Structure 1
Amino acid sequence: MNKKQFFLLILFFLTFNVNAQYHIHYFGKPMRKAPDKTDVPTFNMAFFDAKNILASEEANNRQKSKPTYQFGKTFDVSIDLLKQPQWKQEAKGRVFRYRIKAEGAKSISFAYKKFFLAENAWLKIYTPDSSMVMGPIAGGIFKTPDSFATDLLIGDESIIELFEPEGAIGTSVVQIEKVTLGYRDYFAAEQEAAISNGRTETALACQRNVICESNYTNESNAVALCFFGEDGYTGQLINNSGVISNANSQRPYFITAFHSIELAPALIASSTVFRFKYRSSQCNNNIIPPQSSWFVWSMGADVRAIHEATDVALLELRTGSLGVFGFNQMLANNGIWYLGWSRYNCGLNTSAAPVACLHHPRGDLMKISLSRLPVTTNLPPTFQIDPPYNPVNFNFVTFNSGSPQTIGAGTQPGSSGSGLLDQNKRLIGVLTGGAPVNPSCNNPDYSYYGRFDLAWEGGGTPNTRLKDWLDPGNLNVMTLNSSPANSTTTAGSPNFPVTNLISVSGAGMSVCQSGLGLGVIYV
């Protein structure tokens, strides 16, 4: 690609954020002049029944301690835009518009079986009044036709517009295989109304916006709200030890809960949309932030490792023709971070600093939950954990105790996959579930997190453990600090390797167990 072509590619993204020039797609400005929508063919999904679907999903989730957050219903379709006859010739190319309508839907999103845009082609999706515009998604960044997905648009009607330039007619591939219709009000502006109306479609009113705890801003820049089809979950970018000496070793690894993708891990990962920095800019305001403040990535991810016993999954975000280096430059330009981690699972001095969870409960804006109560691997009284999980593989944390020892509410469906951060803000666990399934602001919440230290060695093979990916040089690093994208970081302290020691106990000390053995931590 020459300099002129590269410059044109940048212009196609039309984002509010001048540093977001590499985006696959973003929410563009409302159009000054609405395009001609006469004679636009329409695919009418009149069979959508939001009320009955919502009732059924709520009943099913009440039976689970680790429910996913479902906001919509996914329908299989077969729509090949390149095979549609209603193309219109325009200056320097041709354009095709296609309408998807489902009366009563709260949102619409698409998954593509094959997606490829030729150089200088583009695609955008918008509401009929052009008040919400996604794109243009520009050609030139895709290597070959592959699976793809696009973020939600509000409302029950969306228009897809595809432009192909002269010289590239018929070379794009846009095959829609799934349409997800929302039956919940997913956007925060409507969720605010949902709270006032006493409905249960949104996060608890006592959830705390992450901006209220400004000392967690860097960590929040690593966290994403994830969409696959009808489900929403949370996850975060995570550092690997290669960046201690070389920023170019930073790969876009993303850690989340296995149960969020377990129905079809490879398919789900490849079609997930990652929405970073989806958070309020005000502590006591839950109104949707401007789309220019989000960072959205839609090329999906590949599965690197799964450890079912701890419910941990490690993905790697796809980077397209940008490559890892170009992708990290883009992340850095948009203020994205990678989380650090710790393989120590004890010695958590919660009296000095709380443990924290940054999450998207019920798909809401990013929230933070803090607790100074002890973290334990012991199953709390009256708490039941879903089989086949073993309690010793999890950390149990109490949120929303009603005492000054906790801040914010507990976790909810949609929080799954969020990280448990120790007092040094390093990840030590990944959220699986909690009790009660639908907590209130008046009752304590027990949340349980798959232990990072046990997932490190996992099942003993690269596809069942974290160590091969997060410590590629086999440095035996025990802790790693967070860092901005495209930068180096340091190993944390303490950073001594854990060896097999005789188990001891007594005043002033406790036994620290990790995935590698035993060590003594003095407290």
Structure 2
Amino acid sequence: MKRLYGSLALLSLSIGAAIAAPATLPAAFEHPNVSSLDKVAVRIMPAVNVDKLKAEDRLRDKRGDIPRFALPMTVDMTPLNSGVWEDLDADTVVWRQRIRSEKAMSLNFGFTQYHMPAGGRMLIYPATQEKGGDRDLIREYSDRDNNELGQLWTAIVPGQEAVIEVVVPRASAGQLKLHLTKVNHDYVGFGPLARRLAEASGEKGVSGSCNVDVVCPDGASRSDIIRSVGVYSKNGSLACTGSLVNNTANNKKMYFLTAHHCGMTTTAAANSIVVYWNYQNSTCRAPNTPASGANGNGSLAQNQSGSTLRATSANSDFTLLELRTAANPAFNLFWAGWDRRNQNFPGAVAIHHPNVAEKRISLSTTSTSFVAWGGGAGTTHLNVQWQPTGGVTEPGSSGSPLYSPEKRVIGQLHGGPSSCSATGTNRSDQYGRVFTSWTGGGTNATRLSNWLDPGATGATFINGIN
């Protein structure tokens, strides 16, 4: 619900390949017998009224809703009623479908039915992709992405036209299940290439200039916990921040802590998550300068999709997910420790994606205090006062972790009045406490304890692990 006050700034997020730049190229690049793209069927989506959407977003911001970057559009497309099948060779076939949504900055897709047979794969790539072009723009999915729900939500591809391509062994083509039901039209600028299109339309940067890049000196001693934070999309159209957290078994379970109000509170919503790791600017832009408020150059070639809901509670505004796939070693992730003690802390550190842009760091050098959500008397949340000229949080930062000086998670962002222009007590935010979430609503589905202390050790704090 970050924002209690303020106006909606431009959302932008840059995203890359499903696990890394795929070794596989589109079929037409390697098989000259395959038809050129202009011979492939194209589905033209209805026109999108961007002015209307942005007017709605201003109202969403006033309500404290999480940022929206795309408009979901419903379709009913399968390899049986859409696209073109062709032979690659005697043993392999390919299906392709083009999808175009005029003036989209990027596109992403929701498949409510997905099952890829062994030896098959699906690529999604911009229609402008060239053989020697950037492979980070190609998204690759295989039987590793099959799951118990039989669904798949994809990372974005930049531009207004994308190609969905499936290659399967001829003998197992009948096992393929693919039902595309959502085409999500990015009207804001999600990703570096999409953001360039937004800039060409006169849009400005995405996060406040007072914010501090994680590669700046403030992040130098916190490089480990920086690697635990990721930005994510929900249902291909909404976005928040979250973080990997450790558990007392130190077994690298993919537990991902975020905010209840981000809406990842159902099986379907949790399944739709796409998390993007290590999205940060490569250099330290001086805070409070125009460069810091402009678009960054973060690379987002690292992401993963799908999760299972483990626990959630509105009281302290927490949700704990378990990401479906194990960490890719190339991502170099970190599982942050946590501290559930019933106390305040002499300072705090926030790592987050303001307006879902490149990762930033905000510091508080004053003691936290107990509050209820909204600022009244209570103990469910921590109030954090930011430095007068330092970083703050913004829409899109919701769900991001708050760390103690010992670099342990002590809460996740619910919201607050902070902004680069805020002063005094308005330059503050409220975080649901890990202490409160530990016992939550008293059941496994509403508390952290069973998941983060599976052996019931009684530990009150633990450190993170690589």
1:424 maps to 2:406: yes
The DSSP-based 3-state class of the residue aligned with 1:358 is strand
Judge conservation of contact 2:212–2:362 (CA < 8 Å) in 1.
yes
| Structure 2 counterparts to residues 177-196 of structure 1, below 5 A | 177-188=181-192
> Which blocks of at least 5 consecutive residues in structure 1 are unaligned?
1-19, 244-248, 320-326, 485-523
| Structure 2 counterparts to residues 362-511 of structure 1, below 5 A | 362-378=355-371, 385=374, 391-402=378-389, 407-408=390-391, 410-435=392-417, 439-441=419-421, 443=423, 444-484=426-466
Listed one character per residue, the Cα deviations across residues 106-162 of structure 1 (whole Å, up to 9, x for unaligned) are: 111011101111111111111111056323323355366611111111111111111
Judge conservation of contact 1:87–1:95 (CA < 8 Å) in 2.
yes
The DSSP-based 3-state class of the residue aligned with 2:51 is helix
Compare 178-187 and 85-94 and name the one that shifted more. Answer: 85-94
- The TM-score with structure 2 as length reference comes to 0.84
1:81 maps to 2:74: no
What is the aligned partner in structure 1 of residue 45 from structure 2? 45
Shift of residue 93, structure 1, vs aligned partner: 1.1
What is the rounded CA distance, in whole Å, between the counterparts of 1:390 and 1:82 in structure 2?
59
Shift of residue 426, structure 1, vs aligned partner: 0.3
Judge conservation of contact 2:111–2:152 (CA < 8 Å) in 1.
yes
Listed one character per residue, the Cα deviations across residues 379-421 of structure 1 (whole Å, up to 9, x for unaligned) are: 7xxxx829xx97531111122523xxxx32x111110000110
Query: What is the total number of aligned residue pairs between the two structures?
Result: 426
Shift of residue 347, structure 1, vs aligned partner: 4.7
What is the aligned partner in structure 2 of residue 128 from structure 1? 127
What is the aligned partner in structure 2 of residue 492 from structure 1? none
| Structure 2 counterparts to residues 96-495 of structure 1, below 5 A | 96-130=95-129, 131=133, 133-139=137-143, 142=146, 146-188=150-192, 202-212=206-216, 213-228=219-234, 229-243=236-250, 249-261=251-263, 265-284=266-285, 286-291=295-300, 294-298=301-305, 300-319=306-325, 327=326, 330-350=327-347, 355-378=348-371, 385=374, 391-402=378-389, 407-408=390-391, 410-435=392-417, 439-441=419-421, 443=423, 444-484=426-466
- The TM-score with structure 1 as length reference comes to 0.75
Shift of residue 55, structure 1, vs aligned partner: 1.7
What is the rounded CA distance, in whole Å, between the counterparts of 1:295 and 1:309 in structure 2?
33
The 1:445–1:86 alpha-carbon spacing in structure 2 relative to 1, beyond 3 Å, is same
Judge conservation of contact 2:346–2:368 (CA < 8 Å) in 1.
no
Kindly provide the amino acid, as one letter, of the partner of residue 55 in structure 1. Answer: A
What is the rounded CA distance, in whole Å, between the counterparts of 1:125 and 1:161 in structure 2?
6
What is the aligned partner in structure 1 of residue 55 from structure 2? 55
The 1:447–1:462 alpha-carbon spacing in structure 2 relative to 1, beyond 3 Å, is same
What is the rounded CA distance, in whole Å, between the counterparts of 1:369 and 1:275 in structure 2?
20
What is the rounded CA distance, in whole Å, between the counterparts of 2:464 and 2:199 in structure 1?
35
The DSSP-based 3-state class of the residue aligned with 1:309 is coil
The 1:357–1:155 alpha-carbon spacing in structure 2 relative to 1, beyond 3 Å, is same
Larger Rg: 1
> Which blocks of at least 5 consecutive residues in structure 2 are unaligned?
1-15, 286-290
What is the rounded CA distance, in whole Å, between the counterparts of 1:225 and 1:176 in structure 2?
24
Shift of residue 257, structure 1, vs aligned partner: 0.2
Task: Give % identity.
Answer: 25
What is the rounded CA distance, in whole Å, between the counterparts of 2:223 and 2:457 in structure 1?
29
What is the rounded CA distance, in whole Å, between the counterparts of 1:207 and 1:191 in structure 2?
19
Shift of residue 47, structure 1, vs aligned partner: 2.6
Judge conservation of contact 1:361–1:412 (CA < 8 Å) in 2.
yes
Listed one character per residue, the Cα deviations across residues 473-514 of structure 1 (whole Å, up to 9, x for unaligned) are: 111001110111xxxxxxxxxxxxxxxxxxxxxxxxxxxxxx
Greater relative contact order, per chain length (Cα 8 Å cut-off, separation 6+): 2
Kindly provide the amino acid, as one letter, of the partner of residue 394 in structure 1. Answer: H
Listed one character per residue, the Cα deviations across residues 409-451 of structure 1 (whole Å, up to 9, x for unaligned) are: x111110000110000100001011115xx2346452211001
Shift of residue 189, structure 1, vs aligned partner: 6.1
Kindly provide the amino acid, as one letter, of the partner of residue 393 in structure 1. Answer: T
Kindly provide the amino acid, as one letter, of the partner of residue 74 in structure 2. Answer: D
Judge conservation of contact 2:344–2:368 (CA < 8 Å) in 1.
no
What is the rounded CA distance, in whole Å, between the counterparts of 2:202 and 2:62 in structure 1?
19
What is the rounded CA distance, in whole Å, between the counterparts of 1:88 and 1:199 in structure 2?
42
What is the rounded CA distance, in whole Å, between the counterparts of 2:199 and 2:343 in structure 1?
38
What is the rounded CA distance, in whole Å, between the counterparts of 1:165 and 1:185 in structure 2?
37
The 1:412–1:314 alpha-carbon spacing in structure 2 relative to 1, beyond 3 Å, is same
Judge conservation of contact 1:189–1:288 (CA < 8 Å) in 2.
no
Compare 181-190 and 367-376 and name the one that shifted more. Answer: 181-190
The 1:102–1:190 alpha-carbon spacing in structure 2 relative to 1, beyond 3 Å, is closer
The DSSP-based 3-state class of the residue aligned with 1:349 is coil
RMSD over equivalenced CA pairs, Å: 2.8
Kindly provide the amino acid, as one letter, of the partner of residue 37 in structure 1. Answer: L
Judge conservation of contact 1:435–1:446 (CA < 8 Å) in 2.
yes
Kindly provide the amino acid, as one letter, of the partner of residue 74 in structure 1. Answer: P
